[in-house]
Amino acid sequence: MSDAELLSLAGEDVGHGSQVVLPRLSLTLRTGERIALLGQSGAGKSTLLATLRRRLDTDAAWCPQSHGLVPQLAVYHNVYMGRLERHSALANLWNLIRPDRRAWTEIETLCGELGLAGLLRRPVARLSGGQRQRVAIARALYQQRRLFLGDEPVASVDPHQALRLLALIDARHDTSVVALHQRELALSHFDRVWGLRDGRLVLDATTDTLTLDDLDRLYPDADAASSASADETAHG
């Protein structure tokens, strides 16, 4: 059961509409896997995540890079939006005026775990960057799906907090695909790495076979920097 395929792409062109970003992409996502998605910005990480999200539909909770929060609404309402489709429009409307008691209790507990206790009534516009990030994660957790898809969900928090947040995400989802830029975190905390470079999946391996140097090759700018320093050494 733990090896069950959730999704499999076999040489498919992936992109937006008619624009292909990742041509002839092949990969498999299995239940129980924790996958770190690495690659330079513009390598196609967001495109791949959007495709996974579309294919997995209601199986996946989604935490976008832009957070997708509504700054004018309170933290409570932003988290509540994770289950907007499970209530009638009328109930949702009423909830804006008077919070639903059960949802309030649940969200209060959830926000407590994420270090947002006491902020439920505060408009998101008045939160710090790190707090907003945690609200976005809270919303994804509140969706209660088996699978977590995150686009840089721990980009703007410190390393300790990042670990704690990833642990929370793991505790509540059996499978996850998370785009990251912290390479160390990818090795220490995930089972498998998907590495994208120039629109191709150049790396698809379990983390126990990988080193930081392997991951460095995903970043062409790092190549340039290291070859430049190599040049300097040669001339110097």
Sites of contact with other proteins (CB under 8 A): 57-58, 61-62, 64, 66-73, 77, 81-85, 87, 89, 92-93, 96, 143
Which residues are 25's β-sheet partners? 12
Q: At what angle do helices 129-142 and 101-113 cross, to 10 degrees?
A: 130
Instruction: Give 57 or 232: the residue with its C-beta nearer to other proteins.
Output: 57
- Compute the least distance from the CB of residue 46 to other proteins, in Å: 12
- Compute the least distance from the CB of residue 64 to other proteins, in Å: 5
Instruction: Give 78 or 175: the residue with its C-beta nearer to other proteins.
Output: 78
Contact (CB, 8 A) for 85 and 36: no
Instruction: Give 85 or 208: the residue with its C-beta nearer to other proteins.
Output: 85
- Give me Rg for the CA atoms of the chain: 20
How many C-beta neighbours within 10 Å does residue 200 have? 15
Helices assigned H by DSSP within 41-120:
45-56, 75-80, 89-97, 101-113
Q: What is the DSSP string of 102-116?
A: HHHHHHHHHHHHTT-
- Compute the least distance from the CB of residue 78 to other proteins, in Å: 9
- Compute the least distance from the CB of residue 68 to other proteins, in Å: 3
Angle at 78 between CA 42 and CA 59, to 5 degrees: 65
Instruction: Give 142 or 190: the residue with its C-beta nearer to other proteins.
Output: 142
| CA dist., res. 207 & res. 153, Å (int) | 20
- Compute the least distance from the CB of residue 103 to other proteins, in Å: 13
Instruction: Give 145 or 189: the residue with its C-beta nearer to other proteins.
Output: 145
- Compute the least distance from the CB of residue 206 to other proteins, in Å: 30
Q: Tell me, what DSSP letter sits at residue 16? A: E
Instruction: Give 20 or 81: the residue with its C-beta nearer to other proteins.
Output: 81
Which residues are 16's β-sheet partners? 19
